[in-house]
Amino acid sequence: MNRPENLLGPLVRRDGEPTFDEPWQAQALGIADALVAAGVIAADAWAARLGAILRARAEAGAANDADTYYGAVLEALETLLTETGSAAASEVDRRQQQWRRAYLNTPHGKPVELAAGESLGPLDAEKR
């Protein structure tokens, strides 16, 4: 397997500071940090799960970019929350669908608000 020399390459700006393409990326890492600090998930479990997902994606030929990394962050969070019993798998799935609806019902250029996904909006109704 060819491993990239710098696994964090897509996450580091030229000045060495972390980069976030979207606010949700910073929020996802902030949530993980808060869950570890609160003892909801163990730091070693977080690191091991995220590392395992990133390795699996690299072995499968996924791009070494921010999309791959933050997708792995979300997967690790979702898995750990269900494994610890902090969230039922059905609740995680419900929230994913709510965010999807919110995204689809938010006009381009506007911030996505979770409330926009609470009920069927015009875009969802068109897809029925």
Q: Write down the pLDDT at residue 96.
A: 87
Length of the chain: 128
Query: In which region does residue 109 sit, left (phi positive, over 0), alpha (psi from -120 to 50) or beta (all else)?
Result: left
* Average pLDDT, rounded, for the chain: 83
Nearest to 77 by CA among 92, 90, 63, 66: 92
Q: Write down the pLDDT at residue 127.
A: 47
Residue 114's pLDDT band (boundaries 50, 70, 90)?
confident
Q: Write down the pLDDT at residue 112.
A: 85
Read off the tokens for 110. 């506007």
Residue 18's pLDDT band (boundaries 50, 70, 90)?
low
Is pLDDT at 124 greater than 70 in this prediction?
no
Q: Write down the pLDDT at residue 12.
A: 60
| Model confidence pLDDT, tens digit, residues 45-103 | 999 999 999 999 999 999 988 899 999 999 999 999 999 999 999 998 998 899 899 98
CB neighbour list of residue 80: distance below 8 Å, 6 or more residues apart = 35, 41, 45, 46, 49, 86
> Of 80 and 122, which is predicted with more confidence?
80
> Of 127 and 51, which is predicted with more confidence?
51
Q: Write down the pLDDT at residue 1.
A: 44
